[in-house]
Amino acid sequence: MRIGLVCPYTWDVPGGVQEHVRGLAEALIELGHEVSVIAPAEDESLLPYYVVSAGRAVPVPYNGSVARLAFGFGAVSRVRRWVKDGNFDVLHVHEPTAPSLGLLACWVADDPIVATVHTAIPRSRMLHVAQPILQSALEKISGRIAVSEAARTTLVEHLGGDAVLIPNGVSVRRFEKADPLPGWPGAGGTLGFLGRIDEPRKGLAILLQAFALMAPQRPGLRLLVAGPGDADEALEQVPAGLRGRVVLLGQVSDEDKVRMLHSVDVFCAPNTGGESFGIVLAEAMAAGAPIAASDLDAFRRVLRGGRAGELFETGSAASLAAAAGRLLDDPARRATLAAAASVAVRDYDWKVVARDVLRVYEAVAPAAGRMAVAL
Amino acid sequence: MTAITSVIVIVVLAMIGVYVSWRAGRLDRLHARLEAARFALDAALIRRSSVALELASSGLLDPAASLVLAGAAHDARSARSGQEMPESDLTRALRAVFSQSDFRASLSGAEGAEELLAELEGAAHQVFLARKFYNDAVAATRIARRKWLARALRLAGGAAMPEFFEIDDSLAPAGEDGRGADMPHLTS
């Protein structure tokens, strides 16, 4: 099939939606489809061959923060030309409610349109005001996808209609092999954490308490943390004598993220809620890290009810310390869990997820889909 | 004075005209989307019943299961398009066959079994998606047609009010969905 993907956010700035579009595009290309992506870009020379630039995005205040969005006559004409030249069987718009390329593509295109909603939008009053503007563009969407139950709820409550749930994918191959960071994990054992360190729901505070419980009995134990946020504030929660054994890497590159996941003996996911899927967990599974995770519904499902990772009582530092301790003392169990995880994570590989997305394309553009099957 | 008044009247009338034709165009586009969705749904239902018939006549299943499946697939096939009950019955028959405890094990190694199951799973997902998108289009069209302007000017013309298509179309046994997704993968 000829597929056009529309990414509303700047391609060369890291972000979940960009990551999603990249993973999907590469998986679809691998399955033999013709894919073109349009996205705003800062530096056009760095774009992969399948991405077309829609020009630079402008930082504007939107929905409570500053977002980089592409709009205006320049963007409209670039999108229109791309749609016309692409002659797509299906157009797949990401985040259609963001005032950026996705909305513009819905506006100018006559092809069958599929749209994926990524975020739950809490500020409903804004959408209420915007609804008449969005309505005529969104009416053109023939098939809607939500990446999480929360995103689906937002869509249903604010814009009406329904959506198919297809969770995020992981590029398993990118995570499978990497060298540990120099000096890690070390003989005394290493616990790992990945995520925003100042977002309470990610649960770093619980892990720090658990570390304080475990560290006195385990003199070599260290904690490796990667993710953006205020490092000093986080360190203050650790008893002064243990601070030297907690290393905060801050925001890391994609490559270092993979290496970090290969540098830990036990990967901890102490989230306290609000996780619809747990992409971080799937990435850790792909990297073959043994996992200790909160007993949240979403995590239990991803970890196959505990067969692909140890579950502990959500919010309990003592329970986390016990679970992580058990794993540190039992290399055989760690190996079993890691092996089970690398099998379970295949269900979330982009290759599998992209096939589900293709079925959506075939449902909105049946003629093109049949042609693709026949070829 | 009258000249200015008549200019204003003409401008206002022209604006109303543009607005009404824009609204009519939107409604027209919704009807086109609805028609395409209905076409996709019918195609998906036909494909599912054909694959079910193929499975029933493949010799992979025991005779009783084959008979149940063949009967349900035939009823769905021969019912007039858009009949909800026979399609739901076919789903239930498929689910009953798929959810036998040793179903996967009994088929493993049989020639062509994996391909046929994958095709059936694909066909069932296609029905699920096509129905969801069709009902979405129905909802959007019904809302648009209930608007005051659409009713007063009969913008929809003589087209019948579209009806939702409600069937049981999930192959997953209740409460058992490994991936947390809408389209469970039954085959590997």
Question: Strand runs (DSSP E) across A167-297, as ranges?
Answer: 190-194, 222-226, 246-248, 266-269, 291-294
Query: Could you tell me if A170 and A282 are in contact, meaning their C-beta atoms sit under 8 angstroms apart?
Result: yes
Residues of B in contact with A144 (CB under 8 A): 133, 136
Overall residue count recorded for chain A in this entry:
375
Residues of A in contact with B122 (CB under 8 A): 359
Q: What's chain A's average pLDDT? A: 84
Q: Do A139 and B130 touch (CB under 8 A)?
A: no
- Listed in sequence order, the residues at least 6 apart from A32 whose beta carbon sits closer than 8 Å to its beta carbon are none
Is the predicted pLDDT of residue A367 greater than 80, yes or no? no
- Give the Cβ contact number of residue A343 at 10 Å: 12
Bridge partners of A59, per DSSP, are: A68
Q: Which letter does DSSP use for residue B162 in this model?
A: P
Q: What's chain B's average pLDDT? A: 81
The answer to the question of residue B40 being in a domain is no
Is the predicted pLDDT of residue B52 greater than 70, yes or no? yes
Q: How far apart are CA A169 and CA A116, in angstroms?
A: 13
Residue of B nearest to A278 (CA): B180
Nearest to B179 among A136, A347, A363 (CB): A347
Q: Do B185 and A304 touch (CB under 8 A)?
A: no
Per-residue pLDDT tens over the stretch A192-216: 998 888 778 888 889 888 888 888 8
In this prediction, residue B101 carries a pLDDT of 66
Residue of B nearest to A166 (CA): B181
B179: pLDDT confidence band, cut at 50, 70 and 90?
very low
Residues of B in contact with A362 (CB under 8 A): 126
Q: Do domains A2-169+349-374 and A173-348 have the same CATH topology?
A: yes
Q: How far apart are CA A141 and CA A116, in angstroms?
A: 10
- Listed in sequence order, the residues at least 6 apart from B46 whose beta carbon sits closer than 8 Å to its beta carbon are B77
Q: Best mutation site among B35, B115, B119, B129 for testing chain A: the one with the most A CBs within 10 Å?
A: B129
Q: Residue A57 is encoded by which pair of tokens?
A: 């995005």
Q: Do A161 and B44 touch (CB under 8 A)?
A: no
The answer to the question of residue B130 being in a domain is yes
Residue ranges of the domains in chain A? 2-169+349-374, 173-348
CATH of domain A2-169+349-374: 3.40.50.2000
The answer to the question of residue B122 being in a domain is yes
In this prediction, residue A372 carries a pLDDT of 44
Top CATH class of A173-348 equals alpha beta
CA torsion angle for A154, A155, A160, A162 (degrees, to 10)? -120
**List of long-range contacts for A307-313, beta carbons under 8 Å, 24+ apart:** A307/A337, A307/A340, A307/A344, A308/A337, A308/A340, A308/A341, A308/A343, A308/A344, A308/A345, A309/A281, A309/A285, A309/A337, A309/A341, A310/A337
Q: Residue B117 is encoded by which pair of tokens?
A: 């199951």
- Per-residue pLDDT, averaged over B111-124, amounts to 84
Residue of A nearest to B29 (CA): A140
How many domains are contained in chain B?
Answer: 1
CA atoms within 13 A on the CB side of A131: 12
In this prediction, residue A374 carries a pLDDT of 39
Query: Could you tell me if A356 and A166 are in contact, meaning their C-beta atoms sit under 8 angstroms apart?
Result: yes
Q: Do A160 and B132 touch (CB under 8 A)?
A: no
Q: Do B181 and A142 touch (CB under 8 A)?
A: no
Per-residue pLDDT tens over the stretch B125-173: 889 999 999 999 998 888 888 888 777 777 777 777 888 888 888 777 6
Q: How many Å separate Cα A98 from the centre of its chain?
A: 18
Q: Nearest 5 degrees, angle CA B105-CA B110-CA B115?
A: 95
- Give the Cβ contact number of residue A317 at 10 Å: 21
Q: Do B185 and A352 touch (CB under 8 A)?
A: yes
Q: Work out the percent of chain B whose per-residue pLDDT is above 70.
A: 87
In this prediction, residue A368 carries a pLDDT of 54
Nearest to B180 among A161, A298, A364 (CB): A298
CA atoms within 13 A on the CB side of A168: 27
Q: Do A302 and B185 touch (CB under 8 A)?
A: no
Report residue A212: phi and psi, to 5°.
-65, -30
Q: Best mutation site among A159, A168, A347 for testing chain B: the one with the most B CBs within 10 Å?
A: A347
Range of the domain at B104: 45-164
The answer to the question of residue B73 being in a domain is yes
Does A123 contact B at CB distance below 8 Å?
Answer: no
B184: pLDDT confidence band, cut at 50, 70 and 90?
low
Query: Could you tell me if A155 and A117 are in contact, meaning their C-beta atoms sit under 8 angstroms apart?
Result: yes
A65: helix, strand or coil: strand
Nearest to A363 among B33, B126, B182 (CB): B126
Q: Residue A357 is encoded by which pair of tokens?
A: 């997305």
- Listed in sequence order, the residues at least 6 apart from A96 whose beta carbon sits closer than 8 Å to its beta carbon are A102, A103, A106, A115, A117, A134, A137, A138, A141
Determine the distance in angstroms separating the CA of B45 from the nearest CA of chain A, rounded to an integer: 12
- Per-residue pLDDT, averaged over A64-80, amounts to 79
Residues of B in contact with A356 (CB under 8 A): 125, 181, 183
Determine the distance in angstroms separating the CA of A140 from the nearest CA of chain B, rounded to an integer: 7
Per-residue pLDDT tens over the stretch A219-236: 888 889 988 888 788 788
Does B149 contact A at CB distance below 8 Å?
Answer: no
Q: How far apart are CA A354 and CA A32, in angstroms?
A: 12
Q: What is the interface pTM, i.e. ipTM, of the complex?
A: 0.71
Nearest to B36 among A142, A166, A360 (CB): A142
Residues of B in contact with A343 (CB under 8 A): none
For the ranges A234-248, B103-117, B130-144, which has the lowest average pLDDT? B103-117
- Side chain identity, residue A209: Q
In this prediction, residue B138 carries a pLDDT of 92
CB contact burial A219-239 (16+ within 10 A = b; e otherwise): eebbbbbbbebebeebbeebe
Q: How far apart are CA A243 and CA A233, in angstroms?
A: 12
Q: How far apart are CA A98 and CA A120, in angstroms?
A: 12
The answer to the question of residue B39 being in a domain is no
Bridge partners of A61, per DSSP, are: A66
- Per-residue pLDDT, averaged over B24-29, amounts to 86
Is the predicted pLDDT of residue A40 greater than 60, yes or no? yes
Q: Work out the percent of chain A whose per-residue pLDDT is above 90.
A: 21
